[in-house]
Amino acid sequence: MNQGNEKNRAGWNFDNSYSKLPEFFFTIQELNPVSSPKLVILNKPLATSLGLDVQALESEESVDVFAGNQVPDGGLPLAQAYAGHQFGHFNMLGDGRALLLGEQITPKNKRYDIQLKGSGRTPYSRGGDGRAALGPMLREYIISEAMHALGIPTTRSLAVVTTGEQIQRDTRLPGAIMTRIAASHIRVGTFQYVSRWGSVSELKELADYTIQRHYPEIDKNNPNQYFLFLQEVIKRQVSLIIKWQMVGFIHGVMNTDNMTISGETIDYGPCAFMDTYDPATVFSSIDLRSRYAYGNQPKMAGWNLARFAETLLPLLHEDQEKALEIAQNAISEYPMLYVDNWVAGMRKKLGIFNEEDQDKSLIDELLEMMEKHKSDYTNTFRALSYGKQEDMNLFTTPEFKQWEKLWQERLSRQSESMEASLQLMKDNNPTVIPRNHRVEEALKAAVENGDYSVMEKLLKVLSNPYMETNEQESYCTLPPDPDRPYQTYCGT
C-alpha cells in the first residue's frame, strides 16, 4: 500500500478553516523531521471517537505524521500567532514549538484541532529549540486524561512519539512530540495579539470566526452579538475554574495565552493536584510570588477575562467610553457569578440539593477546619461520601463533631433522602486523582527505563474517578512524606 493510501486509511478528514483567516494570524510552516520516531502511547478510545482507525495509526506512515515527518492527507501545517500576559507582563508569543496540522471533522460532525507539540522551531520560537522532552509530554497525557475522566473540559492527547533525538534542558533528555486535540487553540492571547497589532477589521473577523465555531447559538444579526459573546465566554470560564476548584486542581501558569475562548483547560506544564488542603498551595517552580496559587485561581481568571474584554472594546460600541462601560458591566458580573456557582458546586459535594442562606457558612467552616488540621482535600470528601471518617484525624475533633451535627440537620431539611444525598456526593467527589508521587513514579519508569506499564495502570485507575474500587485503594494514599515541598516545572 502506498503512503497516500495508508494515510487515507487512518481516517484523516481535515478541514483548514483557521487558514482562511488573514495570514496575519499564522505562518504556514515547513515540517521539521526527526530521525527515528517511535510511537510510545496511543489514545485508542479518543482515536476512535475522532473517526480514526487505530490499527492504521500504529503503522510506520502514521507514526511519521505524529512525528512531524509527513503531512497527513488534507493537512496544512501552520503556527498560530498570539500574545499574552505572562505573570502579568505582556509579550508577543505564538506557537514556538507547535504546529496545527488541521481540523479533524469527526463522524458526528464535530471539529477538533490536531496539533503537534514539540515539533520544532517556528518564527515564534524566540530563541528556543521548538522541541519537547518525553517527561512533560507524558505528564500532559496523564493529567489531561485524568481531567477528561473527571468531567472537566480539556484538551486531550492522541499520541506521544519519541524522536530518537536528545534535547538540552538542564541535562540531556529524550525528545518527544505529542499530538494534542482541542476544540480550538484560540486564546485570550489571540485576541490580545490582534488588538495590539491588528486592525479593527481583523479583530472583527477573528471574533466572527470564534463565535461561529464555539458559540453558534449567538445570532450574528444581533446588534449586541459581541456583548453576548463576552458574556458567554465569562460563563464558560466560571464553569471551568469552579470545576478546577472542586477537585483541587492547580493549573500553575494561568497566563492569558493559556486561557482558551472555548473554555477548555490547556497547557499542562507545571500543573498538579493538591493533597493537603491549603488555599496558598503553589507547585510551579516559576510562580515565585504565588500569583497562581490554588486560592488565587478564581481571581486570576477574572483578571484574564478583563484583559479579554479590553480587546473587544472596538466591537462593543463605536463610542469608546460607552464601550468601556459595556465591558465593565459584563466583567462586574463575574465575582457574584463565580461565588453563586462555586457554592452550588460545593453543595453537591456535601449532598445538598436545595438552597439556604447559611450554606456558604457551613462550607467555609468545613474548609477552615480542613486547613487547620492539614486534611487531605480529596480524601476528606471521599470519607464523607463513603462513611470512612475513622480514617482521618479531623473527624475526631470536637469542632468537627459540632459541624457534623449542623450538616446532618441541614440534610434533614430537604425532601431528598439520605441515600440520594450520598449518591449526589459520590457523583461529585472523586475517589482518586493523579497524586503527584504516582505521576512521578509513572514518568520515571517510562523515561528512565522505557517501562510504560506503570503509566498504563495509573491511567486505568484514573479513568473511573467517581467509582470506588479495590484497585484504587493504593492510589488514594498520600506520599510517604506529605509535608515535603513538591515542585513542578514548565518543560520549555
Q: Which residues are catalytic?
A: 257
List Cα–Cα distances, 442 to 143, 296, 428, in angstroms.
12, 29, 26
Cβ-in-10-Å burial (0-12, 13-18, 19+) of 319 comes to exposed
> Which residues, at least 6 apart from 113, have a Cβ–Cβ distance to it below 8 Å?
18, 100, 102, 103, 104, 180, 181, 182, 183, 184, 185
- The answer to whether 190 and 113 are in contact (CB under 8 A) is no
CB atoms within 10 A of CB 61: 20
Cβ-in-10-Å burial (0-12, 13-18, 19+) of 437 comes to middle
Alpha-carbon span 54 to 147, nearest angstrom: 23
Share in percent of the chain as helix, strand, coil (round to 5)? 50, 15, 35
Alpha-carbon span 93 to 5, nearest angstrom: 37
Which candidate, 230, 431, 458, 259, places its Cα nearest to that of 326? 230
Which candidate, 63, 98, 104, places its Cα nearest to that of 78? 98
Which candidate, 121, 124, 103, places its Cα nearest to that of 113? 103
HEC states along 228-247? HHHHHHHHHHHHHHHHHHHH
Alpha-carbon span 308 to 255, nearest angstrom: 12
Alpha-carbon span 334 to 225, nearest angstrom: 19
Q: What is the dihedral of CA 405, 409, 412, 413, to 10 degrees?
A: -160
Alpha-carbon span 97 to 242, nearest angstrom: 30
Grid cell 441515600 — which residue?
419
Alpha-carbon span 456 to 138, nearest angstrom: 11
Report helix angle 334-349 to 320-332, nearest 10.
20
